[in-house]
A and B are shown apart, each in its own frame.
Chain A
Amino acid sequence: MGTLADLISSTLVFSVALIFAALGGVFSERSGVFNIGLEGMMTAGAFGAAIASFYMETDGGATTSSPWVGLIAGVACGLVFALLHAYATVSLKADQTIVGVVINILAVAVTLYLVKIIFEGAGDTAQLQQVFAKWPIPLLSDIPFLGRAFFNSYPTTYIAYILVPVSSYLLFRTPFGLRLRSVGEHPGAADTVGINVTKYRYIGVLISGALAGLGGATITLTTTSNFSHSTISGQGFIAIAALIFGRWNPYGVFGAAFFFGMAQALRNFLTRFEFSQSIPTEFLYMLPYILTLIVLAGAVGKSVRGPAAAGEAYDPSKR
């Protein structure tokens, strides 16, 4: 049981960033805006966290508050790119896929450009001294098995525990959520009853940027402790997969992201066992992606359909 608990615990480390980013994707796509740019927004978040924490450390000495400042900076950096995304796709009615691709290109380029300027030519930021440590939750972490698996983790994990039900509540139990979803399903009808389509789409995209930034910051502050070109390498796209896999639903997204995280944790985990010697490591790396394909291909018949109006700019004249 102890090893299984450890597996879950290390799964959570890999999953949390995906959960944040994919949750962001839920808000954006539910409001009717595809967000291929999650990868870029995560990159921005990882960069913001690394830089802000670095300055906190050099200016104020290493304090325990510096990773929190980093986390907030990550959110802010994600928001900057989300704003660009929203302006282009909602206000200028640009193609959402294209803008997402642009965000990915720009975020990587701008952050590395700044890193090279700030660190005088180096391709990565200095290693942070103060990052998040594991916080065992009093009482809960003493529960056999569950405590070790779920309640002995980084603070960001607990934020994810809170954000998933909160997102679900927001989306499905509040007027705000109803409006956001209606804008994504049928903007024309929503507009007719007086819902401001532009406003809700901006909100959807901005939330996605904030959450993706949070996800990127999480990776810097719990896994890598610095930022380089490879800090975010494909997690944003996996988050998109988790988003579709989880059917645009916060709990589904949590499950899907957990699944991807577990597949990642599994490959480190399996090396502990004798039998894994006979499996080429590349196949362990492939495992999560193959499993996803099999599951999705098996799910034929059931509707795997996103919000109806996602992908199209809203044009009142075509109502």
Chain B
Amino acid sequence: MNKAAEIFNKPSTYIPFIAIVLGLLCGGIVMWIGGYDPLEAYGALWQTVFGTKYDFGETIVAITPILFTGLAVGFAFRAGIFNIGADGQYIIGMTAATFIGLKVHLPAFIHAPLALIVGMLCGALWGALVGWLKAYRGVNEVISAIMLNWIALYLSNYILSDFLVKKGEQKTPNIDESASLSIGWLKDFMEGARMDWGIWIGLLCVAIFYVLLWRTKQGYELRAVGHNADAAKAAGINIKASFIKTMMISGAFAGLGGVFSVLGVFHYQVVQAASAGYGFDGIAVALLGGNHPVGILLGAILFGGLTYGSAGMNFEADVPSEIVRIVIGSIIFFVASHGLIRTVIQPLFKKRKSRERKGADMNGNVG
């Protein structure tokens, strides 16, 4: 059998595709029950995403943040940590970048990189805090990350409203032109869509994710800890250091997401009552992508496209945009419940049963 067919026949590969179909079907049924025309709605969705260059560009803008948070969550998953705190790391990265973008005045060749690096580092440190609390204080990472998400939100609001926002306003002035990471010519080419370096750095991070985990000794150690922390410890791996390292890298990914939302897309930041939830979308993206960088990229493309397209569904077919969240939720549900899919399509794959069993744990199975 050739290699392409082999990849496709692994359950970890075909299950997401079936899940996507079933998810869209669920969304269709829900729309039909609600008295809407599913075909018209999906048509409008497709039209919104691929209709014009502007829309296509804005779809990429929607993909970028969840690609970063997806990578953040996926990376931590691989090393045995559930990073529910990507939300906070995203906000911290964003706020740090805004601060540098507004308060420091430098020539462009140094200003933008500085803002990017500071934002990334602040995200990394915010993540490392979770790792440190887990490693040295025995605090469950889920609870500390949830706490730190809220602290990040309010800390960011404090920094914004006391230092960066003019009295009586809710958003900061625009950052210096020298800190901008937008790509002007691409923006013009895409009919004004807010194109920036985010997606390119995001693609670079996809590669970094892969190289770090599968091509370095450190990455091997991180994965070993993810598989079985006790065994890794017995083998002489410093698991405390590994927790902190993992969360630093994870936080850096999430922080970068926040950085590009300010430096690339909006150029300003708003005081928020609640977070935008990109960290939680990142969890969904990582799960759909099986915590593999390429899978995460595909997952981010799908969810970003659906999310941006939902505006068009609302506008043209009058369907509440929540339907897209229902579709996304159903897709992840079917990915998680792959037992269900496997039972249904077992007859089709009967001959390949032995191979299937070998790959059965490949899917979303995390420590």
Contact (Cβ within 8 A) A283 B322? no
Inter-chain contact count A-B, CB under 8 Å?
138
Known: A93-B339, A94-B339, A304-B138. A240 touches B146 (CB 8 A): yes
Check A6 for interface membership: any CB of B closer than 8 A.
no
| Residues on the A chain within 8 Å of B139, using CB | 293, 296-297, 300, 304
Q: Which of B144, B326, B329 interacts with A296 by CB under 8 Å? A: B144
Interface size for chain B: under 10, 10 to 19, 20 to 34, or 35 or more residues? Answer: 35 or more
Q: List A residues 106-147 near B (Cβ within 8 Å).
A: 106, 108-110, 112-113, 116-117, 121
Query: Is B322 a contact partner of A241 (Cβ separation < 8 A)?
Result: no
Separation in Å of the A313 CB from the closest CB of chain B?
Answer: 9
Q: Is the Cβ of B133 less than 8 Å from the Cβ of A293?
A: yes
How many chain A residues touch B (CB < 8 A): the figure is 47
CB-nearest residue of chain A to B339: A92
Q: Are A292 and B147 in contact (CB under 8 A)?
A: yes
Residues in B whose Cβ lies below 8 Å from that of A286: 150-151, 154-155
The prevalent SS among residues of B at the interface is helix
CB–CB B82/A97 < 8 A: yes
B138–A241 contact, CB under 8 A? no
Report which of A112, A234, A304 forms a contact with B322, defined as CB distance below 8 A: A112
Q: Which of A146-204 touch B at CB < 8 Å? A: none
Task: Evaluate contact between B320 and A117: CB separation under 8 angstroms.
Answer: yes
CB-contacts of B127-171 with A (<8 A): 133, 136-140, 142-144, 146-148, 150-151, 154-155, 157-158, 161-162
Extra contacts, 19 of them, besides A282-B157, A285-B150 (Cβ < 8 A), are A93-B339, A94-B339, A98-B335, A98-B364, A104-B280, A105-B284, A105-B325, A109-B323, A109-B329, A110-B326, A113-B322, A113-B323, A230-B274, A244-B142, A283-B154, A285-B154, A289-B148, A293-B147, A300-B138
29 pairs, CB–CB < 8 Å, chain A vs chain B:
A95-B365, A98-B332, A98-B336, A101-B280, A102-B332, A105-B329, A105-B332, A106-B325, A106-B330, A108-B325, A109-B323, A110-B322, A112-B320, A113-B34, A113-B323, A117-B320, A238-B146, A244-B140, A244-B143, A282-B158, A282-B161, A289-B150, A290-B147, A290-B151, A292-B147, A293-B144, A296-B143, A300-B136, A300-B139
Nearest 7 pairs of A and B residues by beta carbon: A109-B325, A282-B158, A105-B329, A106-B329, A98-B336, A94-B336, A297-B137
